[in-house]
Structure 1
Amino acid sequence: MTFASLGLSEDIVRAVTERGYTEPTPIQKQAIPAVLNGGDLLAGAQTGTGKTAGFTLPILHRLSDKSVKGPSSGRPPIRALILTPTRELAAQVEESVREYGKYLKLSSMVMFGGVSINPQITRLRSRVDILVATPGRLLDHVQQGTLDLTKIEILVLDEADRMLDMGFIRDIKKILALLPAKRQNLLFSATFSDEIKALADGLLDNPALIEVARRNATADTIAQKIYLVDREKKRDLLAHLVQEHNWFQVLVFTRTKHGANRLAEQLTKGGIPALAIHGNKSQSARTRALKEFKDGTLQVLVATDIAARGIDISELPHVVNYELPNVPEDYVHRIGRTGRAGAEGEAISLVCVDEHKLLKDIERLIKRELPKVIEPGFEPDLNAKPEPIQNGQNRGGQRHGRNQPRAAGQGQGKPRDAGANKGNHTAPARRQGAPRGRNGQRSS
C-alpha cells in the first residue's frame, strides 16, 4: 500500500516521499481514509506509531481541496485547531504540518507559553489555516481578543490522555465552548481510560474507532532489561554502561527536575556530555538541548516524564529508566520513544530495592516478566532493606512525581512539569486562579 493509494493529493505524497516515507504505518492506513471521510475519529495509538502523519496528512488534503468553498470575503479564518499537552509536541506537530504541506497554499502556526505573546499576536494578523497550540496559551489569546475560533472545521486532541493527566480538562471544555457546533473531531490517545471514554462520549459523534496496539502494550521491537543495583550505585552503573557499550543518543528518565539536573551535571563531570530537560528550563535551553540531542552532538539527554513528551527522534536506540515511574502507564510511554516504526530499540531500567513494588506493578500492566541482570562489579546488597516513600520523598530528598504534596494555594490537578519559567510554578496550570508567569500570562 502507498500513500497515494490512500487518496492523498499528489503534492502531499511528494512531500511525504521527500521525507523518506514510502509505506504508511498501520495507524496511517486506517486513520487517513477515516479522516478524509469527514467523520469523527477515536484513535488509540502508542507513541511512535506515526499517528502525527495519520491526522496531519488528511487534514492538509481536506483543507487544500479546491471543491470546498471558503469565505468569500475578509481575512481567511483559522480552519483547523490541533491541541497538544506540551510545547515540544506542539512544535513537532507544527513542523510536520509545514513539511508535509510545503507544496500547498496553506499556512500554519504554533502557539505555546514560556515565550513572549507579542510575536504570536503579530503572526495572528496574517493568514493562519492550521493552528497548533497548548491549551493555556490558546486561552490567553482568547482572553486578549486576539483569536477567533468560530470558523474551525477540524479539531484534533493529540495525546488526550496526557492532557487529562496534566489537569487540562477544564481548559479543554472552555475551548470546546468557543468552537462551532458543526466540525470534525479527532481524538488520539495512547490509552482508553474511563476519563478518556467520558471525554470521547461528550465530544465525538458516531466516531470511527481505531486501535492499533493492545492497550498498554509495549512494542515487540523493544528489548527490555532490568539491571538490579543498589540505589547509591545507579549513577556509576549508568556511566559504566554508556561508556562500556559506547551508547549515543541515550534518553534517561528521572522522577524529578532536581534529579535530572544533578544527574546531567554528574555525567558531564565524568566525561559524558549530558543535559537536562524539564519544566524549569527556559524554552531556549530546552530547544537547544533537543537540537543537540537530535543531531547526535549530545550523548545523553536526562528528562522528566512530561518534558519528554514530543521528543520525536527516528530510531532512538536507548531509553534508560534511571528511576522507575510511580505510575506504571508512564513506563509504556517512556520506552515507547525507542523501537519506533519497526526499528529496534533498547529499554534499560536501573532498579534498586526501593522500586521492586513499582517493577511488579509495571510487569502486571504489560503482562510479562522482564529479564533481570546483574552487572559484574555492581552487585546489589541482598540484605538491603527497602526504604518507604513518605510524603512524596525518598531518602535523597527527591520528590516523587504524582505523590508530590501541593504547596498552599495550589489547585487540584495542577500540572507540575510542563514548563513555566519562574519559581515553583513549573507547569501550565489549568485551573481558575492558577498562578501565572511573567506579564500575567499562563505558561504552557
Structure 2
Amino acid sequence: MSFKDLQLIDPLLKAIEEQGYKQPTGVQLQTIPQVLAKKDVIASAQTGTGKTAAFALPILQLLSKNQEAPRGGKTIKALIVSPTRELALQIGNNFKAYGRHTNLRTTVIFGGISEKPQVDVLAKGVDILIATPGRLMDLEKQDIINLDAVEILVLDEADLMLDMGFIDDVKHIVNLCPAEKQILLFSATMPFKVEQLANTILKSPERIEVTTTSSAAKNIGQILYYVPKQNKIELCLHLLRNEIKGSILIFRRTKFGVDKLEASLIKNGYNVETIHGDKTQTDRQEALKKFKSGSVNILIATDVAARGIDINELDAVINFDLPNIPETYIHRIGRTGRAGSTGMAYSFCGADEKNYITTIQQLLQIDIPVEESHPYPLDPNAKAINHKSKDTTNNNKKGRKSAASRKKKKRWY
C-alpha cells in the first residue's frame, strides 16, 4: 500500500516524496486512517517505527482544511506534548518537513533556554505547538499560551512522561484544552500507569499495537558480560580497543557516572561527547551534532537525555550500567537496529545487577548470550555489596555522633 492509498492530500504526498519515503510503515498504515476519521487513538509503538509521521501527517491534513486565520491571527489547534527537549525538537523538524507545502505554522517550546524567542514566535500565532510539559505550564501560567482552540492533543512517549513524574502536569494540560478534542496517546510500552491514564482521558479509543516488546530487538545482536563493578571501565576500554567499532552510544545511570566515564575515555585517547540533564540545551545539541556528523564516535548519556534521539547510523549500544526498569533496556538497545538495519548491544552486569538481568530476560522472553572469555570475569559466587550494612558497622567508632544526635538528624529526611 502506498501513501496515496491512505487518502493523503497532494501537498503532503509531495513532501513525503521529497523526504524519500517509499511506503508507509506498520504504525502509519494503522494510525493515519484512524486519526483522519477523528478517532481517539492509543498506540504502542517503539521509537524508530515511523510513529511521528503516523500522527503528524493526518494532523497536518485535518488542519490544512481550515487554514484561514481568524481575526487576531492563528490559534493553537494541535498540541503535541513530549517528555524531552531532544524529542520535541525532532518532532518539530518532522512537522516542518511534512508541512512545507501547507500554510500551517509550527513551533517548538522547551526549557533550558531563554523564553523570549519562543514567546516572540508564539505572539505571531501558530497552528501546531510541540512542547515539553515544564515550559508549556510556565508559559500558560503567564497567559502567554492559550489552549482554548486545541482540536487535537498528542501525548508522545507517555511511559517516559510518567516515569519522569509529569503525571499531574499531563492531567492539567488535558484539562486546559477543550472538553471536545481528539486525543492521540503514543507509548513505547504499556505499563499499568499508562493504561490508567488512557482510561481516564480517552474516549472509546482505537487500539494500535505495532511491535510487541519481545520482538522489538529482533535486528539487534545482544551480548552479556558478567564483570565486577570496579572493572567495568577496564572492560569497556578492552572492548573499544578490540571489538566495538563505529558509532557507539554508552548508557550510564547517573550524571556523575557519565562524567566519570567521559574523563576515563578521553584520558585513553577517545573522542567523546556527553549529554545529561545538567548540560545546557546548547551543549546537548552541540554534542548530538558532533556525534551525528561523525566528528566524535562515542556518545555517553543518561536514559532521560537519550530518549527520543534520532540517530540513523548507530553501530552499537553499551549498557555500562543496567537499568532497573526492564522496559528501559528495550528503549536503550532500540537506539541501534533502526528502520530494519542491524546493530549490537553489549551489557555489563555487576553482582548487584543480577536481578535486573532476570527481569529484562523475562520481558524479552529470551536468554541474552553470555560472553565468558574476557579479561575481567565476575566470580559466580560474588555477592552484591550492601552499603547500608557497611555503614552501620562503624556506628560506635570514636568521634561519631551519639545515637540521640543521629536520631534527631533523621527527622530532616
For normalisation by structure 2, the TM-score amounts to: 0.91
| 1:29 maps onto 2:26 in alignment | no
Distance 1:11 1:389 in 2: 61
User: What are the superposed Cα offsets for residues 67-110 of structure 1, whole Å, 9 maximum, x if unpaired?
Assistant: x4756422121110000011111111101111111121111110
Structure-2 residue corresponding to 1:441: none
User: What are the superposed Cα offsets for residues 126-151 of structure 1, whole Å, 9 maximum, x if unpaired?
Assistant: 13111000111111111111111100
Distance 1:210 1:35 in 2: 12
Structure-2 residue corresponding to 1:416: none
Query: Given residue 205 of structure 1, which amino acid in structure 2 is its aligned partner?
Result: K
Cα distance 1:235–1:101, how it changes in 2: closer, same or farther (>3 A)? same
Structure-1 residue corresponding to 2:345: 347
Query: Given residue 34 of structure 1, which amino acid in structure 2 is its aligned partner?
Result: Q
Query: Given residue 332 of structure 1, which amino acid in structure 2 is its aligned partner?
Result: I
Query: Given residue 7 of structure 1, which amino acid in structure 2 is its aligned partner?
Result: Q
User: What are the superposed Cα offsets for residues 287-343 of structure 1, whole Å, 9 maximum, x if unpaired?
Assistant: 111111111111111111111112111142211100101111111111111111211
Q: What RMSD in Å do the two structures reach over aligned CA positions?
A: 2.1
- Over the matched positions of the two proteins, sequence identity in percent amounts to 46
Distance 2:37 2:132 in 1: 27
Structure-2 residue corresponding to 1:299: 297
1:272 Cα offset (Å): 1.2
Structure-1 residue corresponding to 2:158: 160
**Secondary structure in 1 matching 2:124:** coil
Aligned partners of 2:244 and 2:316 also within 8 Å: no
Cα distance 1:222–1:206, how it changes in 2: closer, same or farther (>3 A)? same
Structure-2 residue corresponding to 1:434: none
Aligned partner (choices 70, 74, 82) of residue 80 of structure 2: 82
Query: Given residue 164 of structure 2, which amino acid in structure 1 is its aligned partner?
Result: M
Structure-2 residue corresponding to 1:426: none
Alignment of 1:273-312 (within 5 A): 273-312=271-310
Alignment of 1:348-427 (within 5 A): 348-382=346-380, 384-388=382-386, 390=388
| 1:2 maps onto 2:2 in alignment | yes
Structure-2 residue corresponding to 1:51: 51
Aligned partner (choices 236, 239, 247) of residue 238 of structure 1: 236
Alignment of 1:126-145 (within 5 A): 126-145=124-143
**Secondary structure in 2 matching 1:372:** coil
Number of residue-to-residue matches in the alignment? 394
Distance 1:330 1:389 in 2: 25
Aligned partners of 1:142 and 1:148 also within 8 Å: yes
Query: Given residue 292 of structure 1, which amino acid in structure 2 is its aligned partner?
Result: K
Distance 1:230 1:269 in 2: 22
For normalisation by structure 1, the TM-score amounts to: 0.84
Cα distance 1:409–1:201, how it changes in 2: closer, same or farther (>3 A)? farther
User: What are the superposed Cα offsets for residues 257-298 of structure 1, whole Å, 9 maximum, x if unpaired?
Assistant: 000011012111111111221101111111111111111111
Distance 1:27 1:43 in 2: 8
Structure-1 residue corresponding to 2:114: 116
Structure-1 residue corresponding to 2:255: 257
Aligned partners of 2:324 and 2:356 also within 8 Å: yes
Query: Given residue 44 of structure 1, which amino acid in structure 2 is its aligned partner?
Result: S
1:206 Cα offset (Å): 1.3
Cα distance 1:158–1:390, how it changes in 2: closer, same or farther (>3 A)? farther
Gaps of 5+ in 2: 392-409
Aligned partner (choices 80, 99, 105) of residue 101 of structure 1: 99
1:220 Cα offset (Å): 0.8
1:372 Cα offset (Å): 0.2
Structure-1 residue corresponding to 2:71: 73
Q: Is the radius of gyration larger for structure 1 or structure 2?
A: 2
Structure-1 residue corresponding to 2:15: 15
Distance 2:383 2:176 in 1: 55
Structure-2 residue corresponding to 1:428: none
Query: Given residue 317 of structure 2, which amino acid in structure 1 is its aligned partner?
Result: V
1:230 Cα offset (Å): 2.4
Query: Given residue 145 of structure 2, which amino acid in structure 1 is its aligned partner?
Result: L
Choose 301-310 or 348-357, whichever is displaced more: 348-357
Alignment of 1:202-213 (within 5 A): 202-213=200-211
Aligned partners of 1:248 and 1:296 also within 8 Å: no
Query: Given residue 90 of structure 1, which amino acid in structure 2 is its aligned partner?
Result: A
- Structure showing the higher helix proportion among its residues: 2
